[in-house]
Amino acid sequence: MLIAQITDIHLGFERDNPGEMNRVRLDQTLARLASLDPRPELLICSGDLTDRGDQASYERLREALGACPIPYVLAVGNHDLRGPLLTVFPETPTSGGFVQYVHDQGPLRIVVIDTLEENRHAGAFGPDRARWLDRTLAQAPNRPTLIVLHHPPVVTGIDWMSLVPNESWAPRLTEVVSRHKHVVGAICGHMHRPITAPWAGTILRICPSTAPQVTLDLKPMDLERPDERPLIEEEPPAYALHQWTPAGLLTFYARVEDPNVLLRFDSGFQPVLKHFEEERHHEPAYPGESHAGPMRAAPAGPVSPFGFQGRIGRLPFWLTMLGATVVGTAVWLGGEALVPALGGTAFTLPLWGAVTWAMLLAKLAVIWPVLAAAAKRAHDRGRSAWWLLILPVPLVGQLFLIIDLGLLRGDAGPNRFGPAPKG
Ligand SMILES: [Fe+2]
């Protein structure tokens, strides 16, 4: 699943100029996104949608987005005003007066939050918003969740645009998100520059802007000494593509430009690509290294029904239980019927021992895959297989088996037992 993100559009920077540079840059970006193959399923606009928060600029934004075939959702930035935005985009959900809501997109749960305090450049995230976010994240603890916001809650090093360490709204937000391990990432804007940072136990991706970019300059700034350094540059508009995969969220950044192509996939280069493909299916030889065998990552593909490694989802778990029940019942009924059929008096039959041993082996053959499936389901829930020792406990053990292993969703994305199972 592919999601596009644009940010910091700043429509209306040139007051009363409907054909302003920022509109041209927005239209170029939307045209590029619409031409992508595969086309993104959703477009997230992460704030600073307009420059002054005026209704006319929101109307121009609606017109531009309406011409793009990709459905969109909006977040607010420091240049936005909620009233005019909601007048022009009344379908945008709110809660408690803030532009904060949940948007379900395929397997991803997208939680849009509001870091705006109107007429303030820096971010804000008060206690009411923190409680809403905590409650909202707690409602779906097993769904992979992506947070959308405008202001990066991290220090970025570009002095004049960055959070400063004593801003209290950011630790409040960080503390809430840190408690929810199913948050698979956060995406934002504001910096007009692509940046990636660790944050709250996940990865924060800062998207470059469609409006002109902020100069990449990490030299500390002395506000008492203007040094003529560049601050804003007319780089091409840019966007992000977020791809949800079984291994987690991949993010790509791209500029809207037509670069010189240096190499194409033509018949001349085809043999090279075929060689690359062939090579990928063979282990490296590691010449000059002590050869203890290549280290392999945990398998992402199908796992053995008899193995205790890796993770499985709920469907293979229940299929194993069903299969074990059917085979186990057949073995039991077969054994019960076999003894009288062989002569009626089991204790006198010379085959008694053989029948008993055959039934014992058959039972073991049923129990083994059941234990293996339960262990792999426990792994999928982020638990060690040692948790299965709870199973013999009356009532509690059976409830654990049915609810935790049978009904609850596994960890979103990879965990310490391997990648998430497919499907
Ligand atoms: Fe901005």
Residue 190 Cα, ligand 1 centroid: separation in angstroms?
5
Phi and psi torsions of 87, nearest 5°? -65, -40
Asked whether residue 296 is assigned to any structural domain, the reply reads no
State residue 349's pLDDT score: 58
Distance of CA 92 to the CA centre of its chain: 23
Supply the pLDDT for residue 343: 62
Contact 313, 320 (CB under 8 A): no
- Whether residue 130 lies inside any domain: the answer is yes
Residues with Cβ within 8 Å of 54's Cβ and at least 6 positions away in sequence, in order, are: 12, 81, 84
Do 10 and 156 fall into the same domain? yes
The rounded Å distance from CA 222 to ligand 1 centre is 22
Three-state secondary-structure class, residue 209: coil
Q: Are residues 78 and 210 in the same domain?
A: yes
Indicate the length of the chain as a whole number.
423
d(CA 314, CA 190): 41
Distance 27 CA to ligand 1 centre (A): 17
Alpha helices in 342-415 (DSSP H): 352-380, 396-400
Q: Domain for residue 281, yes or no?
A: no
On whether both 59 and 156 belong to a single domain, the answer is yes
Q: Provide the b/e sequence for 328-357 (b: ≥16 CB within 10 Å).
A: beebeeebeeebeeeeeeeeeeeeeeebee
Q: What is the pLDDT of residues 193-214, one digit of tens each?
A: 999 999 999 999 999 999 999 9
Residues 202 and 86 in one domain: yes
The candidate with the shortest Cα–Cα distance to 82, out of 111, 47, 107, 38, is 47
> Nearest Cα to 183, choosing from 141, 246, 128?
141
- Residue 80 CA to ligand 1 centre (angstroms): 10
Using CA atoms, how far residue 239 sits from 45, 118, 153, 324, in Å, is 10, 25, 20, 51
> How far, in whole angstroms, is CA 335 from its chain's centroid?
51
- Structural domain contains residue 334: yes
Cα 118 to ligand 1 centre (Å)? 14
The pLDDT assigned to 383 comes to: 85
The answer to whether the CB of 79 falls within 8 A of the CB of 51 is yes
- Ligand 1 centroid–CA 157 distance in Å is 17
Quick check: is 282 in a domain? no
* 335 shares a domain with 208: no
8 C-alpha to center of ligand 1: Å?
A: 4
| Whether residue 246 sits in one domain with residue 324 | no
Task: Determine the distance separating the centroid of ligand 1 and the alpha carbon of 243, expressed in angstroms.
Answer: 24
CA of 223 from ligand 1 middle (Å) equals 21
Residue 133 gets the label, from left (phi > 0), alpha (psi -120 to 50) or beta, of alpha
Is 14 part of a structural domain of the chain? yes
From the CA of 121, how far away is ligand 1's center (Å)?
Answer: 9
The beta strands (E) that lie in 47-180 are given as: 72-75, 101-105, 108-112, 145-148
- Are 250 and 329 found together in one domain? no
- Do 123 and 13 belong together in one domain? yes
One-letter amino acid of 228: E
Q: Evaluate whether residue 58 is within a structural domain.
A: yes
Distance 191 CA to ligand 1 centre (A): 7
pLDDT tens figures, 285-302: 888 887 555 555 455 566
Helix (H, G, I), strand (E, B) or coil at 388: helix
- Same-domain pairing of 137 and 21: yes
> Distance, CA 232 to ligand 1 centroid (Å)?
11
Same domain as 330, residue 215: no
Measure 213 CA to ligand 1 centroid, in angstroms.
Answer: 9
In the chain, what is the straight-line distance between the N-terminal and C-terminal CA atoms, in Å? 13
Residues 242 and 356 in one domain: no
The rounded Å distance from CA 236 to ligand 1 centre is 15
Q: Where in the sequence is the domain holding 354, given as residue range(s)? A: 314-405
Cα(320) to ligand 1 centroid in Å equals 54
Q: What is the count of structural domains for the chain? A: 2
Question: How many Å lie between the centroid of ligand 1 and the Cα of residue 284?
Answer: 47
The CATH number that applies at residue 118 is 3.60.21.10
Is residue 289 within 8 A of residue 295, CB to CB? The reply is: no
Here the tokens at position 203 are 């990865």
A 10 A CB-CB count for 382 gives 13
Domain match, 32 and 174 both: yes
Tell me, rounded to whole angstroms, the distance of Cα 316 from its chain centroid: 23
Question: Measured in angstroms, how far is the CA atom of residue 24 from the centroid of ligand 1?
Answer: 17
Q: How far is the CA of 250 from the centre of ligand 1 (A)?
A: 24
What is the residue-level pLDDT of the chain in tens, covering all 423 positions? 999 999 999 999 999 899 999 999 999 999 999 999 999 999 999 999 999 999 999 999 999 999 999 999 999 999 999 999 999 999 999 999 999 999 999 999 999 999 999 999 999 999 999 999 999 999 999 999 999 999 999 999 898 988 888 789 999 999 999 999 999 999 999 999 999 999 999 999 999 999 999 999 999 999 999 999 999 999 999 999 999 998 999 999 999 999 999 999 999 999 999 999 988 888 888 888 875 555 554 555 667 788 888 889 999 989 988 988 898 888 788 777 776 676 655 555 566 677 777 778 888 888 888 889 989 999 888 888 888 888 888 888 888 878 988 999 888 777 778 778 875
pLDDT on residue 306:
83
CB 132 within 8 A of CB 95: yes
264 found inside a domain? no
Instruction: Sort strands 238-245 and 2-6 into parallel, antiparallel or unpaired.
Output: antiparallel
Between the CA of 179 and the centroid of ligand 1 the distance, in Å, is 29
Alpha-carbon span 252 to 261, nearest angstrom: 19
